[in-house]
Structure 1
Amino acid sequence: MAPARDQMGFELPPRSVFEPPSYPNIWFYVRDTLVPSHAGAVELVTGWLRDRCGLVNDFTGFKPPEASDAQARLRGLQPWPDAPDAARSHAHDLHIRYYYVALRQTRCERAASPAGAGQGDYFRLAGSVHYEVEDEHPLHPYDDGCPYCGRTGTYAGADDLFAGVHEPLGLELLCRGTIRGERVTLADGRPMTPLTALGERYAVVIHRLRPSRPDMNIVDLAVVLIGPKRGAP
């Protein structure tokens, strides 16, 4: 399937480039004036998420890669101590898988600005982010009745718990630092650092899109444009 231009002008590669179980729900576009190569763009994004957001690969057991090139998580979020059954009490992981090698192999790692010709070029990489029961808990990854990650509240009618709840929640937390509109804090009481904090150093625009192709088996999608900040040295 050839890329189709969506409502914002992005031509995102088809899922067949990676063949993951679900289409990557977040795409990072890094202006090519910020980094010398695609590898530099990967390091800028994954390094910032590691150093500022705390997303690291600290899984204690095997974690299926699902066709990804790397993965990381932020653990210990929003403990649920007052579950109706103590065995269901759990904290949560923000889990992301990164996809970028196949983009290079298929020459899809570069993209023109969605604003049109003459507006610059970008390096891009993809991610699949979701919010779930912590990896070490016996109930991982699902608890339908959890008020944080379950099929509850505004998500009560979701057909699929992963695509309809876990992935949109992961996007919300990564992009805005909230879950269901509530600010999420770390174990030490500090607020979780979201992608909007990239704006301290770069010009950042986060586009939220409606998936527009049959191969996009997700319900929510974000594209993050990262460019030089005006007036920056």
Structure 2
Amino acid sequence: MKQTVKIITTLIVVSLLLFNCGGDSDLPTPKPPTPSPPISQAPGSVTLLSPINNKACEEGVIQNSTEREITFSWGTSVNTETYDLIITNLTTNQVTLLTGLVNTSNKINLKKGTPYSWSVISRSAKNSETATSSVWKLYVSAEGITNYAPFPATLNAPLSGAIVSTISNKVTLDWTGMDLDSKVLNYTIYLDKVDGKQIPKAEYSNLSTQKLDVAVEPNSYYFWRVKTSDGQNSSYTIVYTFKTN
């Protein structure tokens, strides 16, 4: 009798074990983790092609007495879907922005005898990063002009709106000039607390360098601009402002 009870007990235990093990087969198979989407690469910057940098642009169709149609072109860039074309009138600082371009060229009417800068931004809908090309300059050619005024200088420092720390109560003004026709350029610096258009100091006039240390007062706002001259024609930058500590 005891032998029979042991056998029955053993069978019950084995049955329970088999039942528990067999139950695992009814559980859902775990799903593998969803792989992360591939990271899209950032766009690359384009190479500008034309109009040629620092040249008078004589190509394009004359539209009227004041405008010429200019074609801007650039190379393709990797990981890019659209381009933004930025054109700046260097005399007025007016910016023309053409966005969402899918082709690598675009035509636009510009004023004759006027200096411009241009650059291209590369964009992708798959990546929030952008890439900006170098900045090129051109003069839109005009009939009867043989000697173009120098390009307005590029103001490198202080940038407009900057807060500047002084050294021995001085600040360094830094700029870059460029001319189509002459390698000899002179600069006059306008620096004041009014509007950047007051009569410049004699020691700030007819400079041959592109950097100047100027005396300033602490905790003051200043306006500055640069006049560039090639001996025949002149150009002016827009006015920048900065504040001293």
TM-score band, normalised by shorter chain = under 0.3
Please give the TM-score of this superposition, normalised by the length of structure 1: 0.27
State the structure with bigger RCO (CA 8 A, min sep 6), 1 or 2.
1
Please give the TM-score of this superposition, normalised by the length of structure 2: 0.26
More strand by share: 2
State the structure with more CA Rg: 2
